A and B are shown apart, each in its own frame.
Chain A
Amino acid sequence: MALGAVFVGLFIFALWTVGLVGSSSISSALRLTVPIGFAAMGGIFAEKAGVINIGLEGLLIIGAFGAIASLYALSVTPIGASIWLAFAFAVVASTVVALLFAIVCIEFKADQIIAGLAVWLIALGFAPFASYIIWDQTNSPSVGSFSAWAIPGLSDLPVIGGLFVATPPVILLIIAVPVSWYLLNRTTFGMWIEASGEDPKSLDTAGVDVRKVRYAGVLLSGVYCGIGGAGMALTVGQFVGSGDTMMDGRGFIGLTAYLIGNYNPIAAFFASFLFAGLEALQIQVQQIAGFDVSSRLIGIIPYVTVLVVLAFVGKTQMPSSAGDHYESDD
């Protein structure tokens, strides 16, 4: 973990000193961190509790589609186009899908990897299908987006002022990272999560219901992915369902981020931020006229990084019982 954090820290420092990133790029990188970072944290809770959730990408897609579809639907009702209400619907939608995934894994003892894959593939098929049904095309029209909040005073500062103008999802992310860390490391719930993933039988014999803890972990991953997916879609203001959808593998990058961050929300956040930074860089590079050569290659850096880390830096400390069904002995 220390290694991963140092790795990430150095990288950001390097980028910073080279001067490629100004404060505005940092805020755009933070916006791009939202889906990755939330997926990563959601994945941490599920997997630490013992349920490997490789369906994070699918949950993000549901969150994004749910947000835009809700907003679109709300705009024709008397309630009007309430962004926050749409956001809430999206989180609920993603959480419900996570609940189904949890039931499938916990009650019906499905193979978690295969079920997670199914969640992704279902979402990957459903979102464009439903987009066609609603908008007659895979992409939605623009339906409105979050406006940025400026922190009074600080946002007026020269150079770094841009850092203090942030969209609500970014602010939620900044809050969620330390809160997640605290939950995992300082609360009884965090202890239960850890025990549930490491040695569920110990937790069970200590009188704690492993299934409830695992449900909680998976549901949290649904909530987080809902926020991440909706946060991104409502920042862009549109749902894009073509190809791999607008999520375009960000859920999987989130998964890699927490592996590199070794299940620590803070380290996972930095890894997410690094990957998002690369993406921001890629967009910037593209804007420099005719310099499109390597943007595709920049896009694969997160994936290559993970492979390199897995191959040469060594294994991450996966919870020992993650992926296993737990059946109480009684």
Chain B
Amino acid sequence: MSRLPTSIGAALDRLVDASPVERIVISIASLLFAVAVGAVLVLVSGFVTECDDPFVLLPGVGYGCYNPLEVYWTMLEGAFGSSSGLGRTLQETTLLLFTGLSVAVAFRAGLFNIGTQGQMVLGALATALVVLELGQLVPQNVVGMVIVIPVGIAAGALAGGIWGMIPGLMKAYADAHEVITTIMLNFIATGVALYLVQNHVGDLTSDSVLTETIPSVARFPTSISDSRFSMYALIGALLVAVGISLLYTRTILGYELRTSGIQETAAEYSGVNAKRNIVTSMTLSGALGGVAGAIYVMMVQYRWQSGIPALGFDGIAVSILAGNNPIGVIPASLLFGGLKSGSVAIDLSLGVPNELVDVLRGLIILFIAMPEFFRMLGKWSGFGSDPVGASGGEEA
């Protein structure tokens, strides 16, 4: 170690302050590495599991059931190869846009919101309950829809916003780390929602924990046959992404929110109420998580029921993959949406568990978290025999 930093530190410093291009390179490299590790996992799994139609025989090891290339190809085909697949992909993309933006908004302001999941769970519940009530009071036509859907979104945003405001308040006024508080609030959100639905507001006649089905005026009009995907939701999500990007690059509010989050003392110096801004950032982040929940109820599930997918955690991967750039969130969600959608196909047609995507999600986050890894790799491949990285390891 003793000679390591002087030899690589300064030289690689230019890479540390990654330019947008380098960030994109790191994101793509992380994705490729995650996919490669996933391929190894799939290949190895193929030797553990049993099947009728093995793809390879390794003498002494046994039959391998899965061909990683085939798995990824099936994934791609499943995601984009059919109209129902594409609908599923775009549906996931829409949801991930909101959860990804939720995480990105907080990150831009120097805050790590792991609580998008909880904000989404409660936002979804609020939306379901509000549209169930409101849906009965409005005409059952387009007019009703134009009333109910925005109100439903607002309800989700409100609930998510409040749930996001709590860690914001705790961060600003009690100096409690938002990572800890949002993790706790995720568990609390799930517990509270399950309790309410199971015991008070749900369909108490059912054995499952769920609410009644929402009326058709509360459902987004579908855009692709065999799918619940709605173009309106996607367009809305894209507009939100652009709006957030403008907020942070062009406006005083964005500048001040960001300054408050990354350096509270400097924000105060600049004449800003930093604590209030931290709360604002977290509330905004929570509201976006809540909207994701609203869309989930009104476009995907048509009710609240237990086992809401972990879109909040996917949102972390999406945001990190996008370098926390609101515009970058758009391709990142499409990519992740494709992965999720494709995982359904590999499960159905190849029997590879769709949890593979959850592993990939974690791996992507892990690889992006260590840009240094890619820098060392770049150094290696670029300068061939320079044993800098190796000496770092062996002197441990």
Chain A positions within 8 Å of B, measured between CB atoms, are 54, 104, 107-111, 113-115, 117-126, 128-130, 132-134, 136, 209, 211-212, 215, 243, 249, 252, 255-256, 259, 293-294, 296-297, 299-300, 303-304, 306-307, 310-312, 314-315, 327-330
Q: List the A side residues contacting B166 at CB < 8 Å.
A: 307
Asked if residues A129 and B198 are in contact (CB atoms below 8 Å), the reply is no
B359 contacts partner chain A, Cβ-Cβ < 8 Å: yes
Asked whether B242 is an interface residue with its Cβ less than 8 Å from the other chain, the reply is: no
Query: CB < 8 Å: which of B170, B307, B355 contacts A132?
Result: B355
Q: Which residues 137-184 of B have a CB within 8 angstroms of A?
A: 166, 170, 174-176, 179-181, 183-184
> When chains A and B are docked, how far (Å) is the Cα of A304 from the Cα of B184?
7
> Does any Cβ of A come within 8 Å of B11's Cβ?
no
**Inter-subunit contact A211/B188 (CB<8 Å):** no
Q: Is the interface of B mostly helix, strand, loop or mixed?
A: helix
Closest Cβ–Cβ distance, residue B377 to chain A (whole Å):
10
B370 touches A110 (CB 8 A): yes
Q: A129-B356, A310-B180 are in contact. Are A296 and B191 (CB under 8 A)?
A: yes
Q: Which residues of A contact B368 (CB under 8 A)?
A: 114
Q: Assess whether B49 is interfacial by the CB under 8 Å rule.
A: yes
Of B1, B198, B362, the most chain A CB neighbours within 10 A belong to B362
Which residues of B lie under 8 Å from residue A126 when comparing CB positions? 41, 355, 358-359, 362
3 A-B pairs with the lowest CB-CB distances in the bound complex, closest first = A125-B358, A122-B362, A121-B362
Chain A CB within 8 A of B320 CB? yes
Residue of B whose beta carbon sits closest to that of A52 = B179
Assuming the A-B contacts A115-B369, A134-B49, A299-B191, are A255 and B180 also in contact, with contact meaning beta carbons closer than 8 angstroms in the complex?
yes
Assess whether A328 is in contact with B187, with CB atoms less than 8 Å apart.
no
Q: Is B355 within 8 A of A125, CB to CB?
A: yes
Chain A proximity of B154: nearest CB distance (Å): 27
* 5 more CB-based (< 8 A) A-B contacts, given A108-B370, A118-B365: A121-B313, A126-B359, A133-B45, A133-B353, A211-B1
> A118 touching B363 by the CB < 8 A rule?
yes
Contact with A along B51-73 (1 / 0, CB 8 A): 00000000000000000000000
A252-B355 in contact (CB<8A): no
Cα distance A328–B5 in the bound complex, in angstroms: 8
Residues of B within 8 A of A (CB): 1-3, 5-6, 9, 41, 45, 48-49, 112, 114, 166, 170, 174-176, 179-181, 183-185, 187-188, 191-192, 194-195, 198-199, 307, 313, 316, 320, 353, 355-363, 365-366, 368-370, 372-373, 376, 392-393, 396
Among the listed B6, B48, B176, B187, which residue makes an inter-chain contact with A315, where contact means beta carbons less than 8 Å apart? B176
Knowing A252-B183, A296-B195, A310-B176 are in contact, say whether A330-B362 is a contact too (CB < 8 A): no
**A109-B6 contact given A121-B313, A300-B187, A303-B188, CB 8 Å threshold:** no
A293 to B199, CA, bound (A): 7
A108 CB contacts on chain B under 8 angstroms: 370, 372-373, 376
When distances are taken between beta carbons in the complex, the residues of chain B under 8 Å from A115 are 366, 369-370
Assembly CA distance A109 to B370 (angstroms)? 6
- Are the C-beta atoms of A114 and B369 separated by less than 8 Å? yes
Residues of B within 8 A of A54 (CB): 179, 183
Contact between chains at B372 and A110 (CB < 8 Å):
yes
Check if A252 sits within 8 Å of B184, measured CB to CB: yes
A54 to B186, CA, bound (A): 15
When the two chains form their complex, are residues A310 and B358 in contact, meaning their CB atoms are under 8 A apart? no
B-chain residues with CB within 8 Å of residue A296 when the two chains form the complex: 191-192, 194-195, 198
Q: Are A328 and B2 in contact, CB atoms less than 8 angstroms apart?
A: yes
Kindly state the separation between the CA atoms of A306 and B358 in the bound complex, as whole angstroms. 28
Query: What residues of chain B lie closer than 8 Å to A312, measured between beta carbons?
Result: 174
B282 to chain A, nearest CB (A): 14
Residues on A with beta carbons closer than 8 Å to the beta carbon of B359: 122, 125-126, 129
Given the complex, which residues of B lie within 8 Å of A303, measured CB to CB? Answer: 184-185, 187-188, 191
Kindly report which residue of chain A lies nearest to residue B46, judged by CB atoms: A133
How far is it, in angstroms, between the C-alpha of A105 and the C-alpha of B41 when the chains are bound? 23
Q: Which residue of B lies closest to A101 (CB)?
A: B366
Residue B48 contacts which of A134, A212, A252 (CB distance < 8 angstroms)? A134
Complex contacts, A123 vs chain B, CB 8 Å: 362
